[in-house]
Amino acid sequence: MQDRELYQQILGLKSPWSVSKVTLDVVQHQVDVFVEHPSGTKFCCPECAKSLPCYDHTSERQWRHLDTCQFKTILHASIPRVQCPQHGVKQVQVSWAEKGSRFTILFERFAIQVLLATQNVKGATSILRTKWDQTWSIVKRAVARGKARKEAKKLPRLGIDEKAFLKGQNYITLLYDLDNSTVEAISDGNDTESGIACLSQLSGAQIQSVEAIAMDMSAAYVKAAKQVIPLAENKIVHDRFHVMQLATKAVDKVRRGEHRQLMKDDDDRLSKTKYIWLTSFENLSEKQQVVFDATYDLQLQTGKAWAYKEMLRDLWSQSTAASATTYFNDWYKRVIHTKLKPMKTVARSIKERLQNVVSFCTHKITNAVAEGMNSKIMSIKRRVGGFRNRQNFKTAIFFYCGGLSLYPQ
């Protein structure tokens, strides 16, 4: 088989296109493949598909193709233009590349595979032997392609959460499909308007399909949900991990205050015990459990706060919202009559939002998917080297976490 015939098959070229010449530059490690069509060939208008004679050609264009035996392979062609009576002069669409791309479809498919496998734009750039902006253009086209193809499916179980774009500032709001572990929408900021902007990216049918939405106890997201989602008050579920996090922080606040008081009398019984009060007993090592038992038996305020925190954990094991409400009310009465101010503050906060805490027993959802996705997003950000461009950061999230159909066809 001659070189031209070989590349005709490799490129999958069909009439009227054919390979006219193949050159090899051993020094540059490059193969150049030249493609042309016979004179007199008619082409279809890209707008109306009307068959028309060739009007003229663009200057020669180049497309990066899959390597040939590790030799960079470049496709060359001048693209025909047609003069359509209805749409004017239009450039025809070639079969080997998408409009506006300088890579063949086969190369873009391979590049996306590498990007997904490495989850690292810089690493993929090295493997592909492209420039960063060239690789990023493939990412952007893939996301645009995926969004255009994505159908507005039902989203019965959602999660909404914030993520810092830059450390300690510049937040973004993310909306998750909890059933499929995908990011469905992103907006700038973490206030009520940001939540509304994020939820409003869904179609009307999708908003109507929402049965439950998990979130932390942020007033901003509660307000946003109530403005966008019908009957949101019955659908909001305050994430149990965030609620327990509040209780855990309260225990630590009790510990720190009690430790300061004890140290005034040179009593160091709470020294180096921070971790054991922040962790469930079953997750402690044997050595830590021994320390915990000895400290807990001292009947300190910290031990009491920890016990109430662990009692609260059983709230989510109740079978119904009604039984969970009864359980909480009993827990609340116990806590509110103690001298544990941080725990009392948490108890009052939960009581204010109790309906949307015990709703877990009805909807059985948490924001664990969102937390897992947030970890993945930060991992990707670290491997890429960080994004200082907000739009690029959002594009990367959709590329790796959007569940999109990314590949060109």
The pLDDT, as a whole number, for residue 392 is 87
Report the number of distinct structural domains present in the chain.
3
The pLDDT, as a whole number, for residue 283 is 82
The pLDDT, as a whole number, for residue 290 is 84
Say if 408 falls within a structural domain: no
Pair (179, 244) in one structural domain: no
Say if 118 falls within a structural domain: no
- The CB density around residue 266, as the number of other CB atoms within 10 Å, is 6
The pLDDT, as a whole number, for residue 383 is 65
Phi, psi (rounded to 5 degrees) for 29: 55, 55
The number of angstroms, rounded, from the C-alpha of 260 to the middle of its chain's C-alpha atoms is: 42
The pLDDT, as a whole number, for residue 308 is 95
> Is the distance from CB of 67 to CB of 73 less than 8 angstroms?
yes
Pair (281, 329) in one structural domain: yes
The pLDDT, as a whole number, for residue 214 is 96
Pair (170, 215) in one structural domain: yes
Pair (244, 358) in one structural domain: yes
Domain, as residue range, for 34: 1-96
Pair (244, 353) in one structural domain: yes
Pair (62, 205) in one structural domain: no
Pair (248, 356) in one structural domain: yes
Pair (222, 267) in one structural domain: no
Q: Which of 47, 66, 96 is the last residue of a domain?
A: 96
DSSP track, 110-174? HHHHHHHHH--HHHHHHHHT--HHHHHHHHHHHHHHHHHH-------EEEEEEEEEETTEEEEEE
The whole-angstrom separation of Cα 96 and Cα 307 is: 67
Pair (201, 256) in one structural domain: no
Say if 131 falls within a structural domain: no
Phi, psi (rounded to 5 degrees) for 356: -90, 0
CATH of the domain at 375: 3.30.420.10
The whole-angstrom separation of Cα 220 and Cα 235 is: 16
Pair (186, 263) in one structural domain: no
Mean pLDDT by 10 residues, the chain (409 residues): 83 91 94 95 95 95 95 96 96 93 96 93 93 94 96 95 79 95 95 97 97 94 97 96 95 93 88 84 83 83 93 95 97 96 97 96 91 82 67 91 95
Pair (197, 284) in one structural domain: no
Say if 184 falls within a structural domain: yes
